[in-house]
A and B are shown apart, each in its own frame.
Chain A
Amino acid sequence: MMTASTGSLADRTLRLLRRPVLRRLAQAFFVAFLLMVFAFLLIRLIPGDPAMILLGDQATEEDVIAYRKLLGIDGSIPSQFGRYVSNMARGDFGVSIRSREPVLSIVQKRLPVSLWLTVTTIFMTVLLALPLGVAAALYRRTWFGHAFQIGASVLVATPVFFSGLVLILLFAVQINLAPIAGYHAGFPANLYYLWLPALTINFVLAPVLARILQSSIVETSSEEFVEAAIIRGTQGWRFYWRYLLRPSLAPTIAALGYFAATVVSYAVIIEIIFNLPGIGMTLVDAVRNRDYPLVQGIVFLSGLLVVGLTFMADLVNGWLDPRAKIR
């Protein structure tokens, strides 16, 4: 038996990595690194660069080259990448080419709006999908089950930019329960601006999550242990929570983690429809301007957020369902 202090550094690292949570964390770091690479490469795949866009059609070749140097995007791709990585390692995300504002401060200003949108959305998803999924599973042979099946398909197939506009017409124009657009920071006042965008996204997310939950519960309900519990005389909330819901939650929570991630991409469309000053809108502008540092910063940081959320979903799952404990 070796003690922790023996062996080379590599050995010790490997042994540490055998601890499940640490290994999962290492995976997360690896994903973060890949994100960094992708963020860097993707934006450079689009033709045109910030120097050309900023200087316009009339600029001479020499002007463009000089301006590139000024912006720090000269040299070969590998050398640019090297600079980018070493800057990142020092926590330096660079400066927006367009506004000359530090990327980090832009993200700090814009990200909270998108985060609030994500949190509100996911909270609403759970609130809607949990009772809906359970009811759809328990009453799947009744009219409710059939109506749910059809309704869910229709909602999922409706594009959010359409349902968003319909909801604005209904709730903001007709009955005035929400603003047409805009945002004010600060909880809980911001919920007034966020609930309609969140509901729009949930026209897609909630039915999907409810369907996932429904099918898990249906699957669970045919398990032998459910029959055993009925025969033992387990009843009421105990029965529903312990024997139907809890053993069925793993796929739902995993999906929830993933959904939280997709809200970031929905945010792009939703923030435009509802005119929310979030990260999605900033990202669209940044791509249009080929604002390399800003695009990289946003993609990397929001990606990091997604990795964190999925990691959290895994942890929650391990706690709820010992079979799914991170291995």
Chain B
Amino acid sequence: MLPVIDAANLSLDRRQAVGIVGESGSGKTMLCRALIGTLPRHGAGIVSGTVQFDGQELAGAPERVWRGIRGREIGYIPQSSLAGLNPVLTVETQLVESITAVGSLSRQQARQEAVALLEKVRIPRAQQVLKARSHQLSGGMRQRVMIAAAIAQGPKLLIADEPTTALDVTIQREILSLITQLRQELNMALILVSHDLAVIEEVCDDVMVMYAGASVEAGPVAALSKAPRHPYTRALRVSRVDRAVPGQDLEAIPGDAASVGSWPAGCRFWPRCALADEACRRDSQPALMPIAQQLSACIHAERMAELEQ
């Protein structure tokens, strides 16, 4: 058995937006899959811990229970919008499927509902798009359709796994602002996964930073971006392209991300960390401890100032 995530804690209220940030391989997507109960499809499972939604325990719940949750209570926008639509079916077929999963609508009503959904995600010429198949739509359009399908049943929570990664920059902004608007209109909580801290800052209230299967820092977005208390969070922040100074080398995190199955002993970030010392190598992965307005899993959280030199 291979551990993929061993320390992650996430809780959110209705209307709250939480971001999960980290490099690829840090366990973000697996965490999302655990939250919608499709881990077994990927040959994985929850060994310990709980997943609770509205007071209902979902970890290890039977498929029958999950069916009542997925789509209806928790909407999901998959990682790759380009592959999220069935290539042989029209947009209409797939949207109508989402709509008719709850309640009993006639075909005509479901169709009207589908048009309304597409308008809700700001798709012009909705009638035409309904008749289209995936390969006839642009990346941005496909992602809008995926969002429409995710909100079709009026979920209380929307999970978006890297919703803008496959899109070009201008479309990214539109999609992000669409998600923000819909969240307010429909009164949904949001979990947004991204490897880009800037995206999280734009949309979320709180953020959880993941590294090698563990959350290393968590707290309000503003606090983490102003004064990070974990060297990894700081590294993510300074390596942002939009903060680059022309003429200067972009700061990159030295080394490679620890991959599943080969986590180093001690704090998993130490091989790439400037603050690392004997204690970091010796002790096991530290737990999150409160410091300032956030939680940090760094035993040297007080020494963060040293990194600014």
- Chain A residues engaging chain B, CB cutoff 8 angstroms: 223-225, 227-235, 238, 242-243, 246-247, 320-323
Q: Which partner residue on chain A sits nearest B75 by CB separation?
A: A231
17 A-B Cβ contacts within 8 A?
Answer: A225-B84, A229-B97, A230-B41, A231-B70, A231-B78, A232-B101, A232-B149, A232-B150, A233-B71, A233-B98, A242-B86, A242-B88, A243-B86, A246-B88, A247-B86, A320-B88, A323-B88
Contact of A228 among B67, B84, B135 (CB under 8 A): B84
B16 at the A interface (CB under 8 A): no
Determine whether the beta carbon of A230 is less than 8 Å from that of B70: yes
Within 8 A of A (CB), among B130-165: 133, 135, 146, 149-150, 152-153
Q: Which partner residue on chain A sits nearest B146 by CB separation?
A: A228
- Residues on B with beta carbons closer than 8 Å to the beta carbon of A242: 86, 88-89, 93
Within 8 A of A (CB), among B82-118: 83-89, 93-94, 97-98, 101-102
Determine whether the beta carbon of B97 is less than 8 Å from that of A227: no
Q: How far is the CA of A60 from the CA of B177 in the complex (A)?
A: 96
Determine whether the beta carbon of B149 is less than 8 Å from that of A238: no
Q: How far is the CA of A242 from the CA of B90 in the complex (A)?
A: 11
- Residues on B with beta carbons closer than 8 Å to the beta carbon of A320: 88
Within 8 A of A (CB), among B210-247: none
Determine whether the beta carbon of A228 is less than 8 Å from that of B78: yes
- Residues on A with beta carbons closer than 8 Å to the beta carbon of B78: 224, 227-228, 231
Main secondary structure of the interface of A (DSSP, over half): helix
B268 at the A interface (CB under 8 A): no
Determine whether the beta carbon of A234 is less than 8 Å from that of B101: yes
Determine whether the beta carbon of A231 is less than 8 Å from that of B72: no
Q: Which partner residue on chain B sits nearest A247 by CB separation?
A: B88
B172 at the A interface (CB under 8 A): no
Known: A227-B41, A229-B97, A232-B98. A322 touches B88 (CB 8 A): yes
Determine whether the beta carbon of B87 is less than 8 Å from that of A235: no
Determine whether the beta carbon of B71 is less than 8 Å from that of A232: yes
- Residues on A with beta carbons closer than 8 Å to the beta carbon of B149: 228, 232
B36 at the A interface (CB under 8 A): yes
Smallest CB–CB gap between A273 and chain B, Å?
Answer: 41
Known: A228-B76, A231-B70, A231-B76. A321 touches B87 (CB 8 A): yes
Contact of B83 among A225, A235, A238 (CB under 8 A): A225
- Residues on B with beta carbons closer than 8 Å to the beta carbon of A235: 67
Determine whether the beta carbon of A234 is less than 8 Å from that of B76: no
B127 at the A interface (CB under 8 A): no
Determine whether the beta carbon of B86 is less than 8 Å from that of A322: no
Q: How far is the CA of A278 from the CA of B181 in the complex (A)?
A: 71
- Residues on B with beta carbons closer than 8 Å to the beta carbon of A233: 67, 70-72, 98, 101-102, 153
Q: How far is the CA of A246 from the CA of B94 in the complex (A)?
A: 14
- Residues on A with beta carbons closer than 8 Å to the beta carbon of B86: 225, 229, 242-243, 247
Contact of B71 among A224, A231, A246 (CB under 8 A): A231
Smallest CB–CB gap between A241 and chain B, Å?
Answer: 10
Interface residue tally on B, bucketed by range: 20 to 34
- Residues on A with beta carbons closer than 8 Å to the beta carbon of B75: 231
- Residues on A with beta carbons closer than 8 Å to the beta carbon of B152: 232
- Residues on A with beta carbons closer than 8 Å to the beta carbon of B180: none
Smallest CB–CB gap between A73 and chain B, Å?
Answer: 53
Determine whether the beta carbon of B38 is less than 8 Å from that of A230: yes
Most chain A CB within 10 A, of B86, B87, B101, is at B86
B187 at the A interface (CB under 8 A): no
New A-B contacts (12) at CB < 8 Å, excluding given A232-B94, A238-B97: A225-B84, A230-B38, A231-B36, A231-B78, A232-B71, A232-B97, A233-B67, A233-B70, A235-B67, A243-B86, A322-B87, A323-B87
- Residues on A with beta carbons closer than 8 Å to the beta carbon of B98: 232-233
Nearest first, the 9 closest Cβ-Cβ pairs linking A and B are A224-B83, A233-B71, A233-B101, A231-B76, A225-B86, A232-B98, A231-B70, A228-B84, A232-B71
Determine whether the beta carbon of B135 is less than 8 Å from that of A322: yes
B80 at the A interface (CB under 8 A): yes
Smallest CB–CB gap between A254 and chain B, Å?
Answer: 15
Smallest CB–CB gap between A312 and chain B, Å?
Answer: 19
Q: How far is the CA of A227 from the CA of B80 in the complex (A)?
A: 11
B79 at the A interface (CB under 8 A): yes
Determine whether the beta carbon of B97 is less than 8 Å from that of A247: no
Determine whether the beta carbon of B135 is less than 8 Å from that of A323: yes
- Residues on B with beta carbons closer than 8 Å to the beta carbon of A225: 83-87
Smallest CB–CB gap between A262 and chain B, Å?
Answer: 27
Determine whether the beta carbon of B80 is less than 8 Å from that of A224: yes
Q: How far is the CA of A325 from the CA of B23 in the complex (A)?
A: 39
Most chain B CB within 10 A, of A224, A238, A320, is at A224
Most chain B CB within 10 A, of A231, A247, A322, is at A231
Smallest CB–CB gap between A63 and chain B, Å?
Answer: 67
Smallest CB–CB gap between A325 and chain B, Å?
Answer: 10
Q: How far is the CA of A234 from the CA of B153 in the complex (A)?
A: 12
- Residues on A with beta carbons closer than 8 Å to the beta carbon of B153: 233
Within 8 A of A (CB), among B36-88: 36, 38, 41, 67, 70-72, 75-76, 78-80, 83-88
Most chain B CB within 10 A, of A224, A229, A233, is at A233
Q: Which partner residue on chain B sits nearest A239 by CB separation?
A: B97
Within 8 A of A (CB), among B227-286: none
- Residues on B with beta carbons closer than 8 Å to the beta carbon of A238: 97
Q: How far is the CA of A235 from the CA of B71 in the complex (A)?
A: 12
Q: How far is the CA of A238 from the CA of B98 in the complex (A)?
A: 12
Q: Which partner residue on chain A sits nearest B72 by CB separation?
A: A233
Q: How far is the CA of A320 from the CA of B89 in the complex (A)?
A: 10
